Amino acid sequence: MKKLLLILVVALSLTACAPAKQYTFTWLAPKGAPAVSLIPIFQSDLNDSIELVDGTDVISAALIQGDKDLIVAPINLGSKLIQSGDANYKLLAVVTWGNLYIVKDEAVPFTDTMDLAMFGSKAVPELVLNKVSDTLSFTFTKVPFNSVADVKGQLVAKTYALGLLAEPVATATIAAAKAQGTTLSVVADLQAAWKTNTGFDNYPQAAIFVKADLNAAQIKQIKERITLMVDYIASVDADKTVVETDISTLTPEALGVPSAAIVKLTWDRLNVDVQYASNKKDEIDAFLTLFSLTLDSDNIISK
């Protein structure tokens, strides 16, 4: 009996000392600012698989198919698919917040009927613009274009003097126009207008959605990755050359940003800020109201 007990104690000791299983995860995310938030995951030795894509069609399909462990998606898109029962995911964290700005050719005076070249018709840019337009000091007529790059082209070509842009494209556009002898400047910060309108500092954009059937140990290790992301953002806030160096290494093309220097220059307006969704429920609710959406607490993973 004593021998049996000894064997049992040794077995339990070995079990207690065994390292926890280390999981790897598959990610899907859009290029641009959301990809910047994932830099510390790219740089880690975690061996996660990260796929970056252009546009939201692939992301929408992936949310429905459920093949990826983690998907970074527009929060309204993910919430809509969850609410309709088409996506078996839960919301974990917001990684980027609003970064929309209106720029104008300084040589062209404001008029009551000024045309605004804009992107995102019937999507986030237009809905946010509609929400805050009453708080702006000027009026305009919206002229939609297919993409933010198209708006950039219209402004640089001086076809339009007023345009809605997102960072870092806004700063890249100002620089490109300057090279052509045109001075553009920011005349409206839609995030500041959002705060005036709603009382919230900003509105959520890209967010991390996690497969709903992952186990507790997997969720714990995913949260450790969130900590890496939070710490990385803090390091860039303290020294913006960090993100410039890292983007140069990973390449702007791979991440889908104009350049490392532009991201460094626009960091404070890019609004990459990783926050647990459970801590920002009110801000999320206020934004989702634009889409007549709600996301129950059951569909949000607690911190």
184, 194 contact by CB (below 8 A): no
pLDDT at 1 over 90: no
| Distance of alpha carbon 101 from alpha carbon 280, whole angstroms | 23
Q: Return the pLDDT at 20.
A: 81
> 84 with 76: CB under 8 angstroms?
no
Evaluate if residue 8 carries a pLDDT over 60.
no
% of the chain residues with pLDDT over 70: 94
Alpha-carbon 85 to chain mean position: 23
Q: Give residue 55's pLDDT band: very low, low, confident or very high (50, 70, 90).
A: confident
Residue 13: per-residue pLDDT = 53
Strand partners, 164: 102
Instruction: Give me 19's structure tokens.
Output: 């390292």
How buried is residue 195: exposed, middle or buried, by Cβ count under 10 Å (0-12/13-18/19+)? middle
Percentage of the chain lying above the pLDDT 90 cut: 92
Model confidence pLDDT, tens digit, residues 79-112: 999 999 999 999 999 999 999 999 999 999 999 8
